[in-house]
Amino acid sequence: MQKRWKILEADRVAVHALHEALKVSKVICKMLVQRGYDSFEKARKFYRPQLSDLHNPWLMKDMDKAVKRILFAIENNEKILVFGDYDVDGTTAVASMYQFLKNIYNNVDYYIPHRYREGYGVSKIGIDHAKENNFTLIISLDCGIKSVDLIEYAKSIQIDFIVCDHHLPDKILPPAVAILNPKQVDCNYPYKELCGCGVGFKLMAALAQKLNLPDSSYLCYLDLLATAIAADIVPMTGENRIMAFYGLKCVNETPCSGIKALMQLAKMEKQMFITNLVFMIAPRVNAAGRMDDAKKAVQLFIEKDCDKATALAELLHIDNTERRIADTTITEEALSLIEGDVLLENKKSTVVYKEHWHKGVVGIVASRLIETYYRPTIVLTRSGDVAAGSARSVVGFNLYEAIHACKDHLLGYGGHFAAAGMTLLPENIEAFSKQFEKVVSETIAPELLIPEIVIDAEVSFKDLNRSLYNIINQMEPYGPENMRPVFIVKNVLNSGHSKVVKENHIKFSLKQDNYSFSGIGFNMATKFNLLEQKKPLDVVFTLDENEWNGEKSLQLKVCDFRLSEN
């Protein structure tokens, strides 16, 4: 697939000033300036995150009301229900809050809605469960900000809500006794990009302060919080970066039994990084809700016994295996549909439907299809009497607005800029598909249909050394707005020893002046002919480390390459 290259620039004066202050490579200084760390003090805080730099939880709107209501419930022996979404963010938030409260008060339980019986977020079934079991306070985590009618219903049957959410609020807010969400327009909390588990973490911090509990009473859940931050793809900046930094430290040194069991199942024996949480831990947790019941993810996270945790982790592992099989099968079927329809292949959007596809993986399949056909994509399946599906966008295109423009064909929809879900009658799928294609065709900029690689800096092979690599590693944890640095080196030559390995990949052997580097480029075999032309190349890569027979060496992890223009 063709890709656009975008090489970032940085203010030269600011880079020079930072170089004078830090006395490190100008390449590093350029990347720091690009990321907003343009002074010695900002750089110091970036490289040396401190828990003491976390904001005061009492700065969050309604924090005083939330704490007061919880303490009132404890004093009056009310039953408290901790309610959360079925994804990683929701289940880690519930596991953290439930354990924190359970350590100070016994009359607490938790509830995770079933993905297929109840749908996303606060559910009427969940509220009725609370009423039937005499709960009078529900703390919702990672959901609730849009549940106006349902929380009104809860209020009418004498159940109070405290909403802890991070999704963008609508103009009309639910009638909760307290709403903790830094994205509220009148909330003065300094950091706006917390995940749902992060908002819950701030509530625990405030409660700990009020009750004179040690910081360890809530900091012990940083491993779960780091997992939520990684999985929910929130910006790795500010508080998120600090909490993820110390959360990873917790994962590597003192993980809860559940995370430890998942690590063992994933055969993770080395140091864990954010990427491991994203690709090894999160899919297994999400699979519980996708394929069965996410309640067992919470059971895993709160389990103290290692053997029981291992048994629960194995259940999630089985769910994940089934998820992968469904994901692969449906992706192959969907690609066949597209390839077999010339009109579909030439469109600027994708809408595919088969009534037997598993509802739990259609969002993943949409993402897979974008890897082959880079355009806004919707995958639909049958759910009872209606069609239901998930949508994924390409970078820079507002998917939610496009779906909103097709709302006349839908029964319901929701989501945000990059992802959404919808339901519609099966007989309306064709009309919806045509309208969606028309809207996308008329509104999407042509360049957005070509994936973009953002490149931090141009370097030469002589710049690539162990010192640079070590400083890059200290920029961890990586995530949105703090991605692993991507470099470009221009006018390098194939040494003649580059080769295709395992049919799909390229093992690079490149040289520039007197410097040589090896590298690996996954799924690039179709471009091997460019290397055979023996012409200068421009190569985009991340700097990696290869270990062979106990020897470590730097190598390039190639993202893309093409013939040099000069």
Which of 35-49, 88-102, 334-348, 480-494 has the least mean pLDDT? 334-348
Is position 36 within any domain? no
Shared domain check, 248 and 131? yes
Residues 6+ apart with CB under 8 A from 483: 454
Q: Average pLDDT of 25-30? A: 94
Is position 35 within any domain? no
Provide the CATH number for the domain around residue 178.
3.90.1640.30
Shared domain check, 345 and 278? no
Instruction: Specify burial of residue 221 (Cβ count, 10 A radius: 0-12, 13-18, 19+).
Output: buried
How confident is the model at residue 470, as a pLDDT?
94
Count CB atoms within 10 A of the CB of residue 254: 11
Is position 291 within any domain? yes
Shared domain check, 182 and 82? yes
Shared domain check, 407 and 285? no
Is position 130 within any domain? yes
Quick: pLDDT tens for 259-271: 999 999 888 878 8
Shared domain check, 115 and 226? yes
Is position 129 within any domain? yes
In whole angstroms, what is the distance from residue 486 CA to residue 456 CA? 5
Domain that holds residue 436: 340-449
Identify whether the C-beta of residue 251 lies closer than 8 Å to the C-beta of residue 275. no
Alpha helices for 340-422 (secondary structure H):
342-345, 362-372, 399-404
In whole angstroms, what is the distance from residue 207 CA to residue 197 CA? 15
Instruction: Specify burial of residue 134 (Cβ count, 10 A radius: 0-12, 13-18, 19+).
Output: exposed
Provide the CATH number for the domain around residue 530.
2.40.50.460
CA 148 to chain centre: 26
Task: Kindly report whether the global pTM for this prediction surpasses the value 0.85.
Answer: yes
Give 433's pLDDT tier (boundaries 50, 70, 90): very high
Is position 21 within any domain? no
3-state secondary structure of 419: strand
Quick: pLDDT tens for 500-511: 998 899 999 999
Shared domain check, 91 and 232? yes
Shared domain check, 347 and 248? no
Identify whether the C-beta of residue 377 lies closer than 8 Å to the C-beta of residue 392. yes
Q: What is the average pLDDT score of the chain?
A: 93
Identify whether the C-beta of residue 558 lies closer than 8 Å to the C-beta of residue 539. yes
Residues 6+ apart with CB under 8 A from 193: 166, 182, 234, 235, 237, 238, 239, 240
Shared domain check, 220 and 169? yes
Q: Average pLDDT of 283-299? A: 88
In whole angstroms, what is the distance from residue 201 CA to residue 218 CA? 7
Is position 41 within any domain? no
Is position 195 within any domain? yes
3-state secondary structure of 353: strand
Q: Which of 403, 421, 449 is the last residue of a domain?
A: 449
Per the structure, how many domains does the chain have? 3
Shared domain check, 462 and 443? no
